[in-house]
Chains A and B, each alone.
Chain A
Amino acid sequence: MTFDELLPYIFLFLMALSVLIYAVLDGFDLGVGILLHQTDEDFRNQMIASIGPFWDANETWLVLAIGILLIAFPEAHNIFLRELYMPVLFLIIGLIIRGIAFDFRAKAVTKYKRLWDWLFQGGSILAAASQGFMMGSYVLGFEPGLNAFLFSCLSAIGVTAAYAYIGGAWLVLKTEGELQKFAAKKARVAGWITALGVVVICLTNPMINPDVAARWFTLPAAILIIPIPLMLFLLLYSTDYYLKNVPFKNDIGCWIPFASVAGIFFLCLIGLAYSYYPYVIPNRLLAVDAASSTASLKFIFYGVAIVLPIILIYTFLSYRLFKGKTTKLEYY
């Protein structure tokens, strides 16, 4: 396979990578929004402070993922956004509302602050659920019908729970005391809903999708995929064990839940990739058929090759700069 022929697959990989990074990073800040504590103002301030320096950049990974879809697979981009017109609309509305609520709440008159807090939570839930719905429809190749719709709704609940799960894990990492315990408790519940969602999707998906069933249950390929669910449930279980016992002495291992949930997201993505590769839209459009012109892919590839490592480095530095437990959010 020449480099030119390889390009569509490189971009497929890059898209999957941005989706994963997006789900982990914006996942945690959406999750914090979903879990926002509506009765204790001090908790709310701390929760929002924990995501303050990051959320803008986190959201950029979504723009990159959509951007790669648009640049590398314009045909898929068109199908994707036409089929998902309404969910995309709700995703955008959710993102707009939570984004502005975040910034307004700190600056607005006290009496409006509560309104912004509710909007922040509502927007976060709307954005997360829309993404889940979109993922559900996408996995089914945008099949119409009631069953597909129900499946997408299920996926909406699953993804919302998954974001709450990683958001809770993030708070365990970034906060202490009562708030940390609160976050651990919520994360446990979200974790079990996520697990349930994964199970249901794993059971229904091969039933709806004969192609997927063939990939999962045909030997010897099936042996390759068996470790994935095993590791998944091991991580779920150990995370639950840790969360149940929060806080540990000296807060040791407070990063474990976040890392584990990120691992769970990674495994889910591998599962999806295994089920649908090399389609860019499941059962409908192959990556290689949807790819744009080689000259365009090359031009953007060099940019990605140079810039993406730099982005990863300064993203890492940004998290280093704000490491440790969250302090009060101040503009200086």
Chain B
Amino acid sequence: MLDTLILSRMQFGANISFHILFPSISIALVWYLFYFKVRHEISGHPVWMRNYRFWVKIFALTFAIGVVTGITMSFQFGTNWPGFMDTVGNIAGPLLGYEVLTAFFMEATFLGAMLYGMKRLPSWMHTLATLLVAIGTTMSAFWILALNSWMQTPQGHIMIDGVAHPEDWWAIIFNPSFPYRFFHVVLASGLTASFLIAGISAYRLLKNDTKKAPKVALQSAMTVAAILIPIQIWVGDLHGLNTLEHQPQKVAAMEGIWETQKGVPLLLFAIPDEEERTNHFEIAIPKLASLILTHDPEGEIQGLNDFIGKHPPVKPVFYAFRVMIGVGVAMLLLSWFVSFKTWRKKVLNEITLKILVLMSFSGWVATLAGWYVTEIGRQPYLVSGILMVKDAVTNIAPSNVMISLSLYLTLYVFIMGAFLHTIFYMARKSVRVDEYDEERQGEPDSGPNARSPIEALESDKGVNWK
């Protein structure tokens, strides 16, 4: 029989994994909407408005699912993890409070004006509302990641009778891992939204959508992705170095290093075995891990055996890390290839478009894998060095958690099915809608800015976009 601890962990894992999928789209998608709206303001070109109108609907859907699944999170601490609030409530509470006050209300209120206020507001005010929603979603990421990072690398508090009390809020918010984690997550959101936009646009093109809008959206998204990925790799590397400094046991699990040693090889693949405390079937590049992590091929890295009983389970961290890197590399190659093609005004063939469709949700895979690395990598602690996961769990009956967990899972499967079905349906529907700017034919497009990305793709007229 599963106990309350393992069931609560499964439930929290399910809730947060499902929840994070939607903000990871919406945080960046709203900045795209702002960009489309601003481009339309500047150029007056209807293609930008067309993209705005298509993507704002997907944003609304994503945002709504994010809000309602997020409400679950706000209750979850109390229902299943009372020890968390008992021990670190003085720190976690205010950070969550600031998230509600400075982010949730702002995004939710201006969302109304953004979604339904276009006719009632002057255009610039509507653009401002879009900007405020964008700032709100990013603020929300700021606060929740400040808390999450504090749980990884706590500082700025003192412990009195086993309870954390705040001493220096600045140190608490800007704790050592926060800046890296914040930028890493925001960039991940940028990539997730970019690949979603590119994938759905490619799907529309494959369905014989001959309008400009999906081409423009596809090119914008892939250009952004091509720029963001190298930055993401750089930030990810810095994040890794920061983790090595503050949570060496997590890095040891990510790299599958058992014994503290010098000149550590980089494992491309292996099967870590926690019972025998060794790896099987290693495929390794000599000295590369030391080079990456210490910038010295002979650098020493601490192994898991230095942290017996205090290190995370190795397998999930090890594999999740490789999944994240693998998807990241695929994203890098694809976005560079597509950007190169579109800049050179070359044709995107059917296979490329199909790969883009397949990669629509690659951001989700990478984001989840990355979260698993960092969150499972924090085990067995809930708050590093302060609170163990097993000491925070509730004492309610396992059967109750079993019921709630199964209800949540059923609901999530249903919502995910509906979500995927609906966005592809909306994409197909948009193919049938006539070009919004047809009545404007013959009117001069205003400004070269509006034209360049379109022309890049338009010049392939009649070629097999299919």
A residues contacting B by CB (< 8 A) are 52-54, 56-57, 59-60, 62-64, 66-68, 70-72, 74-75, 77-78, 80-82, 85-86, 88-89, 92-93, 95-97, 99-100, 102-104, 107-109, 292-293, 295-296, 299-300, 303-304, 307-308, 311, 314-315, 318, 321-322, 329-332
Contacts and interface: CB of A to CB of B under 8 A. Distances in A.
Nearest to A64: B100
B112 A295 contact: no
B109 A318 contact: yes
A68 B116 CA distance: 31
A304 B165 CA distance: 20
B65 interface: yes
A11 B257 CA distance: 50
Nearest to A80: B78
A59 B85 CA distance: 23
B105 A311 contact: yes
Nearest to B126: A332
Nearest to A54: B112
Given A57-B109, A81-B75, A331 B97 contact: no
Contacts of A108: 418, 422, 425
Contacts of B117: 53, 321-322
Nearest to A123: B68
Interface in B82-140: 82, 85-86, 89-91, 93-94, 96-98, 100-102, 104-106, 108-113, 115-121
Could you tell me the dominant secondary structure of chain A's interface residues?
helix
Contact of B101 (A82, A86, A93, A311): A311
Nearest to B112: A53
B64 A331 contact: no
A299 B166 contact: yes
B433 interface: no
A71 B85 CA distance: 9
A128 to B, nearest CB: 15
Interface stretch (B234-242, B260-268, B279-287, B399-407): B399-407
- Interface size classification for chain B: 35 or more
B72 A295 contact: no
Contact of A70 (B89, B121, B403): B89
Given A71-B93, A104-B418, A331-B60, A295 B166 contact: yes
B61 A103 contact: yes
B432 interface: no
Contacts of B61: 103-104, 107
Given A85-B404, A100-B64, A295-B165, A74 B93 contact: yes
A296 B90 CA distance: 6
A52 B116 contact: yes
Given A70-B93, A96-B411, A332-B53, A86 B98 contact: no
Interface string B164-181: 011101000000000000
Contacts of A66: 74-75, 78
Contacts of A53: 112-113, 115-117
Contact of B90 (A99, A295, A307, A322): A295
A68 B79 CA distance: 16
Contacts of B415: 96, 100
Given A59-B67, A295-B90, 5 more contacts: A74-B85, A77-B85, A103-B61, A314-B109, A314-B110
Contact of A293 (B96, B165, B403): B165
Nearest to A61: B105
Could you tell me the dominant secondary structure of chain B's interface residues?
helix
Contacts of B101: 64, 303-304, 307-308, 311
B98 to A, nearest CB: 6
B422 A104 contact: yes
Given A81-B75, A299-B166, A100 B93 contact: no
Contact of B422 (A54, A107, A295, A307): A107
Contact of B78 (A57, A70, A72, A303): A70
A95 B71 contact: yes
A274 to B, nearest CB: 27
A321 B113 contact: yes
Among B100, B108, B426, chain A packs the most CB atoms within 10 A around the CB of B100
A307 B136 CA distance: 13
B113 A96 contact: no
Contacts of A330: 116, 119
Contacts of B96: 67, 70-71
B93 A96 contact: no
A96 B72 contact: yes
20 contacts: A52-B112, A52-B116, A53-B113, A53-B117, A59-B108, A60-B105, A63-B74, A66-B75, A74-B86, A77-B78, A78-B86, A81-B82, A95-B71, A96-B69, A96-B72, A100-B65, A108-B418, A296-B94, A300-B93, A329-B116
A311 B101 CA distance: 8
Contact of B94 (A54, A71, A109): A71
A80 B77 CA distance: 12
A23 to B, nearest CB: 16
Contact of A322 (B56, B93, B120, B165): B120
A56 B97 contact: no
A109 B427 CA distance: 12
B277 interface: no
Contacts of B72: 92, 96
A77 B422 CA distance: 38
Given A292-B90, A330-B116, A78 B85 contact: yes
B396 interface: yes
A72 B67 CA distance: 23
Contacts of B65: 99-100, 103
